[in-house]
């Protein structure tokens, strides 16, 4: 009953592995259907069939199909189905955090529950990191302004005391 089939994988490693699957598309953090299927240890086709049977639970802000341009820009990052059998027949579906949470209501296996818990923890951790980064950036900007003011003050003091006035 462990994520990625490794019974001794550390929580930090699980979070890192999941965070690498999260992409930003349309200014939203999402995970692509094929990556979710791997995490849940199901075929992408089975995952999408379950979503299709429960389509009313997945409005556009929970899950959306990638456009051709979005798909092409991500193709190098996405592992698609075997090209010998024709590859993907449609563009992938991207699931937002809310859509992934909704998946737990239609995928009722123990594995799906455990995977969803790890995914939700990863999203929370990413929000914490983003918040900490924003605070850090704000502090650096403040220091920059303070340093500039200090430099200007010291420069003026130097000019007043050490540079002779021209007459």
Chain segment 147-164, per-residue pLDDT in tens: 877 777 878 877 778 777
Say how many C-beta atoms besides its own lie within 10 A of residue 21's C-beta: 18
136 vs 130: CA distance, rounded Å? 10
* Res. 102: pLDDT tops 80: yes
- Type and span of the H or E element at 147: helix 110-162
**Cα Rg of the chain (Å, integer):** 25
- What is the mean predicted confidence (pLDDT) over 112-123? 83
In terms of average pLDDT, the best of 10-14, 19-23, 69-73, 91-95 is 91-95
Per-residue pLDDT of 119-137, as tens digits, reads 888 888 888 877 777 777 7
- What is the mean predicted confidence (pLDDT) over 135-142? 79
18 vs 29: CA distance, rounded Å? 12
Eight-class DSSP state of 31: E
21 vs 39: CA distance, rounded Å? 10
pLDDT of residue 36: 92
Specify the pTM.
0.65
User: Residue 18's pLDDT band (boundaries 50, 70, 90)?
Assistant: confident
């Amino acid at each position: 009953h462990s994520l990625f089939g490794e019974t001794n994988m550390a929580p930090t490693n699980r979070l890192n592995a999941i965070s690498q699957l999260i992409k930003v598309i349309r200014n939203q953090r999402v995970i692509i259907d094929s990556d979710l299927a791997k995490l849940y240890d199901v075929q992408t086709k089975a995952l999408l069939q379950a979503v299709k049977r429960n389509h009313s639970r997945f409005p556009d802000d929970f899950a959306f199909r990638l456009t051709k341009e979005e798909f092409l820009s991500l193709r190098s990052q996405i592992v698609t189905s075997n090209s010998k059998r024709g590859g993907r027949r449609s563009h992938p579906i991207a699931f937002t955090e809310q859509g992934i949470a909704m998946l737990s209501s239609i995928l009722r296996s123990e594995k799906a529950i455990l995977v969803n818990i790890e995914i939700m923890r990863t999203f929370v951790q990413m929000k914490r990191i983003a918040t900490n980064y924003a605070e850090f950036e704000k502090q650096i900007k403040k220091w920059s302004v303070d340093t500039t003011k200090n430099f200007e003050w010291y420069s003026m003091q130097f000019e007043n005391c050490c540079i002779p006035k021209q007459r």
